[in-house]
Amino acid sequence: MTLSARASVFADVLEQDEAVQQLQISAQSPLHAYFFVGPRGSCRWEAAKGFAALVLSSGFDSSNADRAINLVLRGEHPDLVRVSPTGNQYRDEEVQILINEASRTPIESKKKVIVADRFHTANATAVGRLLKTLEEPPPSTIVILLGENIPDEQVTIASRCMTLEFQPLSSSAVSTWLLGEGLDEENAKVVALASGGDLHRAADLMNDPQVNDRFNMWQTIPDRLDKQGHIAAQIVEEIQHRIDGAQVAIDERHLQEIEALQEREESFGVRGSGRKNLETEHKREIRRFRIDELQFGLTTLANTFRNKLHENPSEAVTRSIEHIRRANTALRRNPNEKLLLQALLISLSDEEI
């Protein structure tokens, strides 16, 4: 494989030059386990596929190597296995799937690559079960753990892995990627901001015709606020209504997935197979979507106040930005959405701007 071909497998990995360089070197003599750590949408999965493409195509002639690379990059190679938790965290049976896969020999290549999504959600029991596999790994198996962080109970696991740090994507990098996907400059800028550095969210939002309307709504909030409490209540209702509208596409997809599951159950005479897990995953996805939307809105709102601060510095504007920062931080604690927004807008209304 040529040097350019080795580099091209990482074409979808943005702004992670150091990690890519390490993986290119490591692919020549791969280790048994890796831990890719970084925020959602920072191209960890794309990097895992690129690394797997190098490993699983090794030892083949040119045509067979190209075939292996194409299958890996499409996520369809039989020796690339992706394991994801169906709920909020890995359950025993899902970790067991990973362990069982690790013990099986490769089908086409000399190696097998197993990628575990969202491994930061694994509890201490799951970590303990996997530890033995990482301490005594089958020689033909490579395990890649993907996590947003390394919790305290996973430090021992991480010590058995080569850890690679993935940085949040810049808004400019996401915007450039969106331009390459055919989005115009103005929409690319808004979608990049709304994505929060998450490339996967950017890919979803680029087909959302209402994202600009939501952006404009958040920008106008400071000029609409006054001392009347009902104005804040009206704005909160509008925010939730706009987010509900954006959520419709997700709700429709979830309904299709439930209907497809029902059809499979009827075809095979099985009831309840995977339904609870699917519903749990749907709830998690909706919650994550709404948090992302609120973070997008609060970032837009904070930027609007920063522009005001630049034009007319005042303590009231500075305090307003701090109110928004605290609300953004509070989102991590899974608060009541309506109460959080009401408290924030009332605080902003009380400032003399």
pLDDT at residue 276, rounded to an integer: 76
- Report yes or no on 8 lying in a domain: yes
**Cα gap 301→295, rounded to integer Å:** 10
pLDDT at residue 350, rounded to an integer: 87
Q: Are 36 and 47 in contact (CB under 8 A)?
A: yes
237 & 346 share domain: yes
- Helices 275-311 + 229-268 axis angle, to 10: 150
- Report yes or no on 92 lying in a domain: yes
pLDDT at residue 312, rounded to an integer: 81
- Report yes or no on 189 lying in a domain: no
Dihedral of alpha carbons 132, 135, 139, 145, sign: positive
78 & 23 share domain: yes
pLDDT at residue 353, rounded to an integer: 65
**Cα gap 92→85, rounded to integer Å:** 10
Residue 27: give its domain's CATH number: 3.40.50.300
225 & 137 share domain: no
Split into its structural domains, the chain has a count of 2
Take residue 87 and report the two structure tokens written for it: 């709920």
Using one digit for the tens of pLDDT, what is the confidence trace for 100-116?
999 999 999 999 999 99
153 & 33 share domain: yes
Residues of the chain where predicted confidence (pLDDT) is lower than 50: 2
Last residue within a domain, chosen from 165, 185, 220: 165
134 & 240 share domain: no
pLDDT at residue 88, rounded to an integer: 73
286 & 145 share domain: no
Q: Are 101 and 146 in contact (CB under 8 A)?
A: no
Host domain of residue 272: 208-350
228 & 154 share domain: no
Nearest in space to 351 (alpha carbons), one of 318, 307, 306: 318
Nearest in space to 342 (alpha carbons), one of 193, 230, 215: 230
30 & 101 share domain: yes
